[in-house]
Amino acid sequence: MSNSVETTAATTSNDTVLVTGGTGKTGRRVAELLAARGVPTRIGSRSAEIPFDWNDRSTWKPVVQGVRAAYLAYYPDLAVPGAAETVGAFAKLAAEEGVERLVVLSGRGEPEAQQAEQLVMAAGAQWTVVRAAWFFQNFSENFMVDPVIQGEVALPVDGVLEPFVDADDIAEVAAVALTEDGHHGEIYEVTGPRMLTFAEAIGEIAAAAGRPVEFVPVPMDAYAQVLTELGEPDEVVWLIRYLFTEVLDGRNSHLTDGVKRALGREPRDFTEYARSVAATGLWNAPAE
């Protein structure tokens, strides 16, 4: 991480941008882009210099003090019960404490996420919504990494087309909205440039990695049972079930122009992403 990311409260300036989830998939990229622009940046996470926890309201006020703009990436997902109210309450407090601009990361086709968007819009600050498709990086920075390495990705989905989007594009849209004028009141629905089934995405990964990786569609109940047997908490199993049954039902199977509208260029393609991750060796076969 660049040196211009704030490390102590003492370096706070009124230009500081708070990046919640600032060590996560999108937040890390947002923080890096802001640092490259010379913007004083404060990471908002439980392990940051000023600890911030969505589930502990006593941590909220210290983290927004002296902040001009904030990126809101809720963890684990805006779909979980209570998430919208939590994000809305945080946005309201931030606006009351003088934060002028809020950029919220949201998900496509999720009623709960859209409820969170509404609460951010009503918080009293300028707002921008970045409403994202499934991230490319779920295959390289999330729960699908190990199955890819093992050579078999079993998921409770089959045939649905998803316009996967690059977290680098999401972060760039967010960074621009946080630091440049002209994005207040915009809902940027961001997708990649083409739709892929999960089987096709895994096929692209296999081609890029130069090794066989099989995609296996499985029934939702069987998948949930395996997760439970592996010790995943009930909330995680619930969330996976929700995402794969409620959201990946075809409702999001269309392309949108959010990246082009915000950045004036086309979104990055999955093939480019797959090649660049494969080149790092992340998806190589496990050592014998």
Ligand X SMILES: NC(=O)c1ccc[n+]([C@@H]2O[C@H](COP(=O)([O-])OP(=O)(O)OC[C@H]3O[C@@H](n4cnc5c(N)ncnc54)[C@H](OP(=O)(O)O)[C@@H]3O)[C@@H](O)[C@H]2O)c1
The CB-of-126 to ligand X minimum distance in angstroms stands at 20
Binding residues for ligand X restricted to 47-86, rule: CB under 6 A: 47, 52-55, 73-75, 77-78
User: Is 205 in contact with 274 (CB distance < 8 Å)?
Assistant: yes
Chain positions 87 to 106 lying near ligand X, rule: CB under 6 A, are 105
Site string (109-148) toward ligand X, x via CB under 6 A = -----------------------x-xx--x----------
- Taking the complex as a whole, the smallest distance from the CB of residue 1 to ligand X amounts, in Å, to 12
Amino acid identity, position 182: G
- The smaller minimum CB distance to ligand X, of residues 4 and 59, is found at 59
Q: How many residues sit close enough to ligand X to count as binding (CB under 6 A)? A: 25
Three-state DSSP class for 67?
strand
190, 258 contact by CB (below 8 A):
yes
Q: Any contact of residue 198 with ligand X (CB under 6 A)?
A: no
Q: Contact 224/167 with Cβ under 8 angstroms?
A: no
Q: Which residue is nearest to ligand X (CB)?
A: 24
Minimal distance, residue 87 CB to ligand X, in Å: 8
* Residue 73 φ/ψ, nearest 5 degrees: -120, 100
Taking the complex as a whole, the smallest distance from the CB of residue 200 to ligand X amounts, in Å, to: 17
Strands 186-190 and 214-217: unpaired
Closer to ligand X at the Cβ: 51 or 211?
51
If the CB atoms of residues 52 and 215 are measured against ligand X, the closer one turns out to be 52
Our CB check for ligand X shows the closer of 73 and 227 to be 73
Question: Where does this chain touch ligand X (CB under 6 A) — which range of 20-28, 155-163, 193-201, 210-218?
Answer: 20-28
Which of 72, 98, 215 lies closest to 154 in space, CA to CA? 215
Q: What is the DSSP letter of 9?
A: G
CA–CA separation, 103 vs 138, rounded Å?
Answer: 22
Treating both helix axes as pointing N-terminal to C-terminal, what angle do 270-280 and 198-209 enclose, rounded to 10 degrees? 40
Largest CA distance in the chain: 57
Tell me which residues touch ligand X (CB under 6 A): 21-27, 45-47, 52-55, 73-75, 77-78, 105, 107, 132, 134-135, 138
